[in-house]
Amino acid sequence: DVKVTQSSRYLVKRTGEKVFLECVQDMDHENMFWYRQDPGLGLRLIYFSYDVKMKEKGDIPEGYSVSREKKERFSLILESASTNQTSMYLCASRGPGLLNTEAFFGQGTRLTVV
């Protein structure tokens, strides 16, 4: 059974804190993604990575950075958390390459910034 695992289900952080969201997949997928889900806006792509140490900005990268040092792990970093980053964060993986396949999602991290 394929698995994408996010390190936390719920997080509460203070404004200005540095926040790390971790994601691990066990499918040997090249492509990994970070989305955020907000009511009425659907899933919006923050960053994605198509290979180790490779990353590309998605539609809303401001205030975020990412790290992919190993194929199975993709981290999202909020350098200085702000209240407008309160959201549901979803990690996904997809592979291989450009073949038409579905993406698999983790269970999500509900982040609240106070």
Partner 1 sequence: DQQVKQNSPSLSVQEGRISILNCDYTNSMFDYFLWYKKYPAEGPTFLISISSIKDKNEDGRFTVFLNKSAKHLSLHIVPSQPGDSAVYFCAASADYKLSFGAGTTVTVRA
* Residues at the interface with partner 1 (CB under 8 A): 4, 9, 31, 33, 35, 40-45, 48, 50, 58, 90, 92, 94, 98, 100, 102-108, 110
Is 83 buried (19+), middle (13-18) or exposed (0-12) by CB count in 10 A? exposed
Nearest to 88 by CA among 108, 103, 66: 108
- Please, which residue, 23 or 78, has the CB nearer to partner 1? 23
Q: How would you class 7 by CB atoms within 10 Å of its CB: exposed for 0-12, middle for 13-18, buried for 19 or more?
A: middle
Q: Which is nearer to partner 1, 54 or 114 (CB)?
A: 54
Q: From the CB of 10, what's the least distance to partner 1, in Å?
A: 9
CB of 19 to partner 1, least distance (A): 19
